[in-house]
Amino acid sequence: MSPLEVSAPNRRLFLQTLLGAGAALGLSACTSAAASGPSLSASAPLPTSVPSGTGLRIASALGAEQLQLQLSGLIKQIPFTVSSWPNIGAGPDVINAFRANSLDLANNAGIPPIQAHFQGFDARIVALDLTRKPSYLFATKPHSDIQSVAQFAGKKLAFSQGQAQGVVLLRALHEAGLKDSDVQLVPLTSNQFLTALEAGQVDIAPLAISQAPAYLNRYGADGAHTIATDVVDLLNLLWAPAEVLADSAKAAAIAAYIPIWAKGLVWVYENPTVWEQEFYVKTQNISLAQAKQVTALSNKPLLPSSWDSAIAWEQQTIDLLAQGGFVKSFKAETLFDRRFEHLAAAAVPAEYRS
């Protein structure tokens, strides 16, 4: 079945396809529900110790989160039980897992918390790493002659409203002077992008830089290629459901985990040869040469002591989505639990702080 193409006037059908019928039934009340979700006392002090028997379920997309803590030895510093490390990474999948009460903490970009708010699900950002290099590029289908973002006009573009790739695409279109109504947005989740490219269902899909080598190895000879963009996806974050943060034991566990997460980011950056071999070569099945290409483009971790710039960036993203009719505008500040603001920066050397 081919994907559903969507134009600007057809937002409701688009959202019904992307979010599922159950979510779409509540669209008329989504934004008001988001504003009046489960209460979270952001003024309550964080607990200073983790009670015995506390456990968290922490997302580990492609096994990366768990592996970096194992390789670095940081996993031994976790003062609670990690009952599971689910392989969940895509924003819509994380939101579904949060809703199903099968996940406590996840690592995503800035768009999934916005999407969760729009759907009426209450969750908060608890840690931030700022990205300053592009994490994505645009891949063409085989036998394509598209060479620039300006040539996206009238083309079918893979688009996931609830994921970072979607906002990178919208920002790139905006920079090129194109509106989303100038293109055909095809609603997919990121794990469907490669299949859609291979089948020619879309002309363009935003891919993570780490995905590009394998795709080009397979289809480069058939005319598939990539188009670079300078659009960055600024926020690399940890977030959790408000219900989880309202549990004092789990809130304490998350507060204890954030410094370990921050140190894990630094360890990966400082040990690229180990990471190339143990993660990219052994688990992602790409060559060592390709792994080196990916790590060469990796961002140096930047754990900000103040979240002000991140909140401003998130507000710009919300406003961009609202201009396209994808969400209703709201204050980005409501997505952040600033009780956790200082924890990541305090855990790393000065060169990794803003």
pLDDT averages per 10-residue partition of the chain, 354 residues: 37 35 36 37 79 96 96 97 95 94 96 93 97 89 95 95 84 90 91 91 91 86 91 91 96 97 97 95 89 86 96 93 88 96 97 89
Identity of residue 195:
T
Cα–Cα dist 44/61, whole Å: 31
Where does residue 293 rank: exposed (0-12), middle (13-18), buried (19+ CB within 10 A)? middle
Among candidates 66, 24, 227, 58, which has minimal Cα distance to 141? 227
E-strand spans in the chain? 55-57, 81-84, 106-108, 123-130, 136-140, 156-159, 184-187, 204-208, 226-227, 235-241
The reported pLDDT for the residue numbered 166 is: 86
- Reduced to 3 states, what is the DSSP secondary structure of residue 1? coil
Q: Please report the pLDDT score of residue 77 as a whole number.
A: 97
Q: Which amino acid is at 34?
A: A
Tokens found for residue 266: 């630094």
The pLDDT score that the predictor gives to residue 11 is 36
- Position 30 scores a pLDDT of 38
14, β-bridge pairs = none
Q: How many residues are recorded in the chain?
A: 354
pLDDT at residue 2, rounded to an integer: 37
Indicate the DSSP class of residue 183.
S
Q: Is 78 exposed, middle or buried (0-12, 13-18, 19+ CB in 10 A)?
A: middle
Tracing tokens 């300078």 back to the chain, one arrives at 230
Is the Cβ–Cβ distance between 189 and 183 less than 8 Å? Answer: no
Q: Given this model, what pLDDT does residue 43 score? A: 64
pLDDT of residue 29: 36
The answer to whether the CB of 104 falls within 8 A of the CB of 240 is: yes
Q: Dig out the tokens for 130 from the structure.
A: 């700022």
In whole angstroms, what separates CA 257 from the centre of its chain?
A: 19
Using alpha carbons, select from 304, 297, 311 the residue that is nearest to residue 350: 304
194 sits in which H/E element: helix 193-199
